[in-house]
Amino acid sequence: MSDVVEKTLTALPGLLLSLDSQPGAAKLCATSRLGSLVRSITELTSKNVGEEMAEPPAGPRSPKQMKEIMVRAIYCEMLGYEASFSYIHAIKLAQQGSVLEKRVGYLAVSLFLHESHDLLLLLVNTVLKDLQSTNLIEVCMALTVVSQIFPKDMIPAVLPLVEDKLTHSKEIIRRKAVLALYKFYLIAPNQVQHIHDKFRKALCDKDPGVMTASLHIYLKLIKESPESYKDLTDSFVTILKQVVGGKLPVDFNYHSVPAPWLQMQLLRILALLGKEDQRTSEMMYEVLDESLRRAEINHNITYAILYECLKTIYTIHPKSELLEKAAKCIGKFVLSPKINLKYLGLKALTYVVQQDPNLALQHQMTIIECLDHSDPIIKRETLELLYRITNGQNVSVIVEKMLDFLRLSKDEYTTIDLVGKVAELAEKYPFPYNSWFIQTMNAIFSIGGDVMQPDIPNNFLRLLAEGFDSDEEDRQLRLLAVDSYLSLLECDTSGLPQRFLQVISWVLGEFSFLKEGLEPADVVERLGKLLDDDAITTETRCWVLAAMSKLCGSSDALCKAEKVAHKYTSCLDTALRQQAVELELLGRDVDLRTRVLPQHVIGFCVWLQVDSSLSFLDGFVSDALARGAAPYKPPHQRQEELSQEKILNFEPYGLSLPVSLSACSLTDRQSPTALSLSSSLSGNSADPPLKAGSNLLKLEGVKRVWGKQGYLPEKQATEEALAQEPSSIFAPSHQQACSESQQTTFSTIVEQDQEKRQLASSLFVGLGSQNAPCLLGKPEASSSQRFRRKVRPEDPSDVNRSLAVSSSFSHSSSALDVLLDNAIPDPTAVCLLVEPASAQNLSDSTSEAVPAVGNTEVVEASEVSSLSGGSGPLAQPSSQVERGLESDLPSRLPATLVGLLRSDVEELCSGESLSLSACKVFDADALVLAIFLKGAEFVLFSLFVCFSLCLNHLYSEGVAQCQGWEEHLNLGEASLYHSVSPPASCSCRPLPLTTEEYGKMWLSFSHDVKQNLMLLKHEEEDQLEAALTALKEKLCLHIVDVIGAEGIMACQLVSGRPCLLHCHTHGGMLAIWLRSPIADLPDCLLYHCQKAIQER
Amino acid sequence: MQFMLLFSRQGKLRLQKWYVPLSDKEKKKITRELVQTVLARKPKMCSFLEWRDLKIVYKRYASLYFCCAIEDQDNELITLEIIHRYVELLDKYFGSVCELDIIFNFEKAYFILDEFLLGGEAQETSKKNVLKAIEQADLLQENQSEDWGGLAAEEVL
């Protein structure tokens, strides 16, 4: 660009500043209308731009004014201010304005709206009208907008018209129509299926522009099914020949290269057609050769074509002559001083090197230089290349380089990708030392942290557990892992990612006995220290506890572990609590422990087989059926029946815990044992050897193709092999250009070069052609894989053993059931404590209506107190087990209320001899307030107040049911004024729905409210889940489904009227969307949701 | 091509064109991130960037950065040339273009872009044809009163 421009541009900021500071001085550009707009905007402070724009129009505006305003709106949107109010005007302008205003209107529409915007519907008519217009410009505009933002469901409306335009007399219209159809094809391929032969016509169009446009469609079509377009190869080749030969009008030249875009498109198409097809490939050799030859001018555009050409040559059926030329071209790229070309050269090498590793050898010095390049992109691409040429000999150097890069990189995408690659390499190749493997994996875990793919730690643990071919080495490897982790635990562990901690605890739990002289108690203590850190997630805590339960061999360790576990036996998280309870139980029952977790048996878990059909329970089931139990129904069926009958789910969520525990311990994802269990499933199957077999076949295929072509003459190969010897000084002496450039390097920086050469020899070792076969098959180098999993014979003893294990599991689970039953108030125990307080008793007892005034309940009692409505969190019986005296009280509930959801028992007030406690029980259609009056030694009196609930709780029809032992009743003369306003949550009941039902109901409800709520706890890992759980607990909602960042919930009022919630988290916000058939309900519920989230 | 952004050395967005449907919030986030990343790069560095799962191709002309996002299999060099061709078109249209031209006539810059790229693909690579089409439409501006249908049929292309 000219110097003048440069000058103007540098002066710009100052100009704008002056505009900003003194509006008067802006006359400079005020002469133009657009100038005034820019000026006015620069004058405005950031906030009020929108307001200014939104000024109510003084009377109707002419389209001309509207056009001006629209341009302003576009400008505002670009600056980042919301101008959504103008969208509708943009559509109007496109509809009503003259051609000129239309143009701006269409532009605004295409910039403002996206494909799924509702307002687009209003545009369809306009577009239809314009497509039929006789004015060329209008048609052009309509076609442009159609190919930019047209939504899928409106395509049929315009399709016939657009189709007609394919035969229009003007090229520009035909071209735009073709592109619009291309867009349609991308959005909805089915809808344009019938016009495929019209595309052919477009391909044969006499105008090169139309023909070029049609190639976009063909590229897509051929990508999908190359077979059906083989017949067109000849045409494409002919076109390319003509283009390369300069037969097109000079207009299409770009920097004296004929139609480069067209050439590239054709080259891509040819690559797709010639892939794995010798006959088709043969048709294009000549023209490819021609393209390579012609592309000699030193300009970016020729390099772009060259690059595409190279890709094509290496994709199609190989021809040695062409490959040789292509290899030389790659040299041009790699050795270019221009960084962009170098980057592409590396990319090309990466693409090619799997087929021809010697190319990397030729450029090894350049690669080494790129490895230390200041631009991270170049480094990254070099690593990609190195990753492709990794073999058993250079793996440690390459991995080291990759880890170095990872330590500096902050980009999450790069980290995930590269960590995966390092892990793959570390596992795939035999490495020099076991300690190297452990160290590398440690580095991966600490760098990859919690963003890496979860199968990396899983695979690592599987490798450790299953072992390799030699027992001694296995032992050594495990010992090394234990050692390194013990020393890691000694240092500060706060920075370690959760996944790493999980790996550490598993390995220590499983293998720490291998280390002689290490007390299990010691390990338990160190693991226990991990738990003190607040930043540790519950999942990790589970892993740690699981590790501890494996270490409970000695009484010392057991004692310590139990102490830790005890803390978690009343934890709210079920998985963690289960783990803790299991540990306690296993600690008590030595027999069971030795059966479930036999000490000092390596890889025991690997041999476990899970009886997924739970056949060992068959006897139990048939017994139960014989006793008249209802047959099992799968959950979805139960759900269906429930929702059909419109009855509530009376089952409290938690009570099912003991039942599901047995299943849980086998399948729960969070349980660390599940990992090894599932691995045994796949590990024992016959899959791996089969896979290896198929890989081998593929390997041979690759070899044959390349061997027969004889692209690598023996002579050259041996030469290169020689060059590979560390003693040879001029490593790439076979490549002239390369060695020339190196000569100069040698003379200038000898020392540095020495280093680099050393690096080169370590990086490119083993790349010579003596082990070419192994290299060619690099991705399938399974034969050299050290970590080939052992193939285990399926012998009968194995099966027997697994049976024994599964029965021991069932043992443990039933034992756990008993344990949990004891922890939860046992129904029989209730009977012992209290005289049977049956439903009969309740209904028979004299029910007297307590006078109800508003929502105030007057109860005679000893002291004055008030029960704060709804502030106490609901506790589900399963998640919290009350201990001590308080726990007796709930047991006094009448049988009809026992199974229901209820709140904690709260002590309202207490005097010297009496105390008053209460709890709320949520019945299907009522809130029952259970009040317990307790004397010094026993419960004197229980009062149950039932409120029938309505939407607004404006009245509560009190039905008090007294029940008790009158002989003990001695209340004195004081009275208790007790006022209760039942919280909204009391009137909500979970509404069990399936996702489909939810979907249907959602659409049928008319009243909805949407709001964004701020989630205060940003640091939480899963905000959505935390929010949903809070809502569920506080408001008694039913979580229907959670998909990604969205969750749907349902509830109903006691009156049976439903309300549906849709929650969506994004960046610290929770978007709640409520729908219900009742007008006020969403608002009301939203308010409570808000409160629940805030109180969380 | 997924989108094209023009922004100044100060990080001010001058033009944006999105060829994939994205929410406004997403667009703003991408723009902010990209502007930051690109501005932080040194002049001698490579014009290509790996960003998320996309490739970013950018080039600086005077004080303006032209920045395109392409998919992995696309050719980076040709994208660079697309940028260059667009600049050439702007240059030809405005007569040695500068940032001010684009600020004050940004809708014209959009028109040119729409004529050159359609739906993320190069529509018309002949410079002459693109400019001709733009001129035809612009002529409208001056002869608004005239009946344009007939005239256009004769003159366009």
Q: Which residue has the higher pLDDT, A152 or A973?
A: A152
For the cut 70, the answer to whether the pLDDT of residue A590 exceeds it is yes
- Selected for mutation to probe chain B from A75, A172, A301 (highest B CB count within 10 Å) is A172
- Which residue type does A574 have? T
For the cut 90, the answer to whether the pLDDT of residue A480 exceeds it is no
pLDDT confidence of A964, banded at 50, 70, 90? Answer: very low
pLDDT at A913: 66
Residues of B in contact with A251 (CB under 8 A): 126-129
pLDDT at A796: 41
Other C-beta atoms within 10 Å of B133: how many? 24
Percent of chain A clearing pLDDT 70 (strictly above): 62
Q: Hey, what are B103's tokens?
A: 């600020």
3-state DSSP assignment of residue A647:
coil
SS3 of A10-45: the string is: HHHHHHHHHHHHCHHHHHHHHCCHHHHHHHHHHHCC
Residues of A in contact with B121 (CB under 8 A): 179, 182, 216
Q: How far is A100 from chain B (nearest CA, A)?
A: 6
- Selected for mutation to probe chain B from A64, A77, A135 (highest B CB count within 10 Å) is A135
Question: What is the arithmetic mean of pLDDT over A704-711?
Answer: 38
pLDDT at A960: 33
Q: What is the pLDDT of residues A894-907, one digit of tens each?
A: 666 666 667 677 77
A554 touching chain B per CB within 8 A: no
Asked if A375 lies within 8 A of B105 by C-beta distance, the reply is: no
Q: Hey, what are A542's tokens?
A: 């589970």
pLDDT at A268: 92
Asked if A340 lies within 8 A of B156 by C-beta distance, the reply is: no
Asked if A100 lies within 8 A of B141 by C-beta distance, the reply is: yes
Q: What is the pLDDT of residues A169-224, one digit of tens each?
A: 888 899 899 999 998 888 888 888 788 888 888 888 888 888 888 999 999 989 88
Residues of chain B with pLDDT under 70: 141-157
Q: How far is A586 from chain B (nearest CA, A)?
A: 48
Q: Which of A380, A387, A389 has its CA nearest to residue A360?
A: A389
* Facing residue for A99 by CB, picked from B61, B84, B140: B140
| Chain B CA closest to residue A185 | B119
Residues of B in contact with A212 (CB under 8 A): 122, 125
Contact assessment for residue A344 and residue A307, using Cβ atoms and an 8 Å cutoff: yes
Asked if A249 lies within 8 A of B124 by C-beta distance, the reply is: no
* Facing residue for A12 by CB, picked from B80, B99, B122: B99
SS3 of A451-484: the string is: CCCCHHHHHHHHHHHHCCCCHHHHHHHHHHHHHH
Q: How far is B69 from chain A (nearest CA, A)?
A: 15
pLDDT at A1042: 82
A816 touching chain B per CB within 8 A: no
B145 touching chain A per CB within 8 A: no
B29 touching chain A per CB within 8 A: no
**How many whole angstroms separate alpha carbon B86 and alpha carbon B92?**
10
Q: Which residue has the higher pLDDT, A28 or A427?
A: A427
Q: How far is B110 from chain A (nearest CA, A)?
A: 8
For the cut 90, the answer to whether the pLDDT of residue A228 exceeds it is no
Contact assessment for residue A667 and residue A813, using Cβ atoms and an 8 Å cutoff: no
Q: How far is A1015 from chain B (nearest CA, A)?
A: 18
Q: Which residue has the higher pLDDT, A698 or B4?
A: B4
Asked if A209 lies within 8 A of B10 by C-beta distance, the reply is: no
- Selected for mutation to probe chain A from B17, B107, B127, B143 (highest A CB count within 10 Å) is B107
Residues of A in contact with B122 (CB under 8 A): 212, 261
pLDDT at A1019: 58
Between the alpha carbon of residue A1094 and those of residues A734, A1031, A1072, the distances in Å are 72, 11, 14
CB burial readout A983-1006, b (16+ within 10 A) else e: bbbbbbbbbbbbeebbeebbeebe
Reported pTM: 0.59
- Selected for mutation to probe chain B from A136, A143, A413 (highest B CB count within 10 Å) is A136
**How many whole angstroms separate alpha carbon A170 and alpha carbon A178?**
13
- Selected for mutation to probe chain A from B20, B38, B77 (highest A CB count within 10 Å) is B77
For the cut 60, the answer to whether the pLDDT of residue A141 exceeds it is yes
pLDDT at A269: 92
Question: Residues 6 or more apart from A741 whose CB is under 8 A from it?
Answer: A335, A365
Q: Hey, what are A884's tokens?
A: 């001590």
Contact assessment for residue A569 and residue A577, using Cβ atoms and an 8 Å cutoff: yes
pLDDT at A891: 62
* Facing residue for A98 by CB, picked from B110, B144, B149: B144
Question: Residues 6 or more apart from A973 whose CB is under 8 A from it?
Answer: none
For the cut 70, the answer to whether the pLDDT of residue A595 exceeds it is yes
Say what the ipTM of the complex is: 0.87
E strand or H helix that includes residue A767? none
* Facing residue for A170 by CB, picked from B48, B61, B156: B156
B32 touching chain A per CB within 8 A: no
| Chain B CA closest to residue A143 | B118
For the cut 50, the answer to whether the pLDDT of residue A43 exceeds it is yes
- Tokens 């589900």 correspond to A876
Evaluated on CA atoms A624, A630, A632, A635, the torsion sign reads negative
φ, ψ dihedrals at A961, nearest 5°? -120, 115
Question: What is the arithmetic mean of pLDDT over A1049-1055?
Answer: 78
Q: Hey, what are A735's tokens?
A: 């490549």
Q: How far is B41 from chain A (nearest CA, A)?
A: 9
Average confidence score pLDDT of chain A: 69
3-state DSSP assignment of residue B82:
helix
Q: Hey, what are A300's tokens?
A: 């970016």
pLDDT at B68: 94
pLDDT at A1095: 73
Contact assessment for residue A152 and residue A117, using Cβ atoms and an 8 Å cutoff: no
For the cut 80, the answer to whether the pLDDT of residue A689 exceeds it is no
pLDDT confidence of A986, banded at 50, 70, 90? Answer: low
3-state DSSP assignment of residue A74:
helix
Contact assessment for residue A995 and residue A1048, using Cβ atoms and an 8 Å cutoff: yes
Q: How far is A632 from chain B (nearest CA, A)?
A: 47
Could you tell me how far CA A1081 lies from the centroid of its own chain?
34
Question: What is the arithmetic mean of pLDDT over A810-835?
Answer: 34
Other C-beta atoms within 10 Å of A195: how many? 18
Q: How far is B143 from chain A (nearest CA, A)?
A: 10
Q: Hey, what are A86's tokens?
A: 């103008």
E strand or H helix that includes residue A119? none
pLDDT at A771: 39
Asked if B22 lies within 8 A of A344 by C-beta distance, the reply is: no
pLDDT at B58: 93
Q: What is the pLDDT of residues A731-786, one digit of tens each?
A: 333 444 444 444 444 444 556 667 777 777 777 766 654 433 333 333 333 333 44
B40 touching chain A per CB within 8 A: no
Between the alpha carbon of residue A431 and those of residues A189, A395, A507, the distances in Å are 50, 7, 21
pLDDT confidence of A828, banded at 50, 70, 90? Answer: very low
Q: How far is A1093 from chain B (nearest CA, A)?
A: 24
pLDDT at A22: 37
E strand or H helix that includes residue A212? helix A208-224
Other C-beta atoms within 10 Å of A595: how many? 17
- Selected for mutation to probe chain A from B54, B121, B140, B154 (highest A CB count within 10 Å) is B121
**How many whole angstroms separate alpha carbon A674 and alpha carbon A668?**
7
3-state DSSP assignment of residue A52:
helix
| Chain A CA closest to residue B94 | A5
A18 touching chain B per CB within 8 A: no
| Chain B CA closest to residue A181 | B119
Question: What is the arithmetic mean of pLDDT over A7-23?
Answer: 43
Window A:263-302, CB contacts with B under 8 Å:
264, 300-301
Q: What is the pLDDT of residues A506-536, one digit of tens each?
A: 888 888 877 777 777 888 888 888 888 778 8
Q: Which residue has the higher pLDDT, A937 or B80?
A: B80
**How many whole angstroms separate alpha carbon A1031 and alpha carbon A1024?**
10
Question: Residues 6 or more apart from A129 whose CB is under 8 A from it?
Answer: none
Asked if B77 lies within 8 A of A172 by C-beta distance, the reply is: no
DSSP category for residue A406: H
Asked if B123 lies within 8 A of A176 by C-beta distance, the reply is: yes
In angstroms and rounded to an integer, the radius of gyration of the C-alpha atoms of chain A is: 38
Q: How far is B155 from chain A (nearest CA, A)?
A: 10
**How many whole angstroms separate alpha carbon A153 and alpha carbon A142?**
17
**How many whole angstroms separate alpha carbon A510 and alpha carbon A38?**
70
Q: What is the pLDDT of residues A341-398, one digit of tens each?
A: 889 888 888 888 877 777 888 888 888 888 888 888 888 888 888 888 887 778 888 8
Q: Which of A185, A184, A164 has its CA nearest to residue A173?
A: A164
Give the pairing type, strands A957-964 and B54-61.
unpaired
Contact assessment for residue A311 and residue A299, using Cβ atoms and an 8 Å cutoff: no
Contact assessment for residue B56 and residue A275, using Cβ atoms and an 8 Å cutoff: no
Asked if B45 lies within 8 A of A377 by C-beta distance, the reply is: yes
* Facing residue for A136 by CB, picked from B22, B97, B153: B153
What is the interface size between A and B, counted as CB pairs within 8 Å?
Answer: 199
Alpha-helical (H) ranges within A471-616 are 471-490, 498-511, 520-532, 538-550, 555-568, 574-588, 590-596, 604-607
| Chain A CA closest to residue B129 | A251
Q: Hey, what are A311's tokens?
A: 């890709």
For the cut 50, the answer to whether the pLDDT of residue A911 exceeds it is yes
pLDDT at A296: 73
For the cut 60, the answer to whether the pLDDT of residue A820 exceeds it is no
Asked if A100 lies within 8 A of B140 by C-beta distance, the reply is: yes
DSSP category for residue A271: H
Asked if A339 lies within 8 A of B13 by C-beta distance, the reply is: no
Residues of A in contact with B17 (CB under 8 A): 111
A531 touching chain B per CB within 8 A: no
Q: Which of A317, A321, A378 has its CA nearest to residue A349?
A: A378
Window B:82-101, CB contacts with A under 8 Å:
84-85, 87, 91, 96-100
pLDDT at A15: 43
For the cut 50, the answer to whether the pLDDT of residue A504 exceeds it is yes
DSSP category for residue A157: H
Q: Which of A56-70, A119-133, A904-918, A1040-1054 has the highest mean pLDDT?
A: A119-133
Could you tell me how far CA A1042 lies from the centroid of its own chain?
13
